[in-house]
Amino acid sequence: MAHCDKTSTVRRLNRIEGQVRGVARMVEDERYCIDILHQVQAVKAALSKVEDAILSDHAAHCVAEAIASGDEADQRQKFSELVDLFGKVKR
């Protein structure tokens, strides 16, 4: 993650952390289930945006560098990492 805007990513993650604490308080306070579910959806969407930013950075830098290097072993490793990651998502 050396290339990504770390400050922005950490700021987003801190915001998400606050959202999750808020959801926990809603559960403790026995708030209406649909209101809690709306907040859970918001947390998932925010995490998805962070994931997209990190994935984009990985593709633009780490994968691109492996391709440009001509190192086939490194290219295979980067490709394998992505396949493994997305394979886990399907499970």
What is the pLDDT at residue 77? 92
How far apart are alpha carbons 23 and 59 in whole angstroms?
A: 33
pLDDT at 3: 58
> Do residues 11 and 65 make contact, with C-beta atoms less than 8 angstroms apart?
no
Structure tokens at 85: 């990651």
Contact 57, 1 (CB under 8 A): yes
What is the C-alpha end-to-end distance of the chain, expressed in Å? 26
pLDDT for 4 equals: 59
Report the SS3 class of residue 4.
coil
The radius of gyration of the chain from alpha carbons, rounded to an integer in Å, stands at 18
- Does residue 51 carry a pLDDT above 80? yes
Query: Is the model's pLDDT at 91 over the cut of 80?
Result: no
| 3-28 confidence digits (pLDDT tens) | 558 899 999 999 999 999 999 999 99
pLDDT in tens, 52-83: 999 998 888 888 888 899 999 998 999 899 88
**Residue 71 three-state SS:** coil
User: Where do the domains of the chain lie, and which CATH numbers do they carry?
Assistant: 6-90 (1.20.58.1000)
Q: Measure the CA–CA gap between 34 and 21, rounded to whole angstroms.
A: 17
* pLDDT of the residue at 64: 87
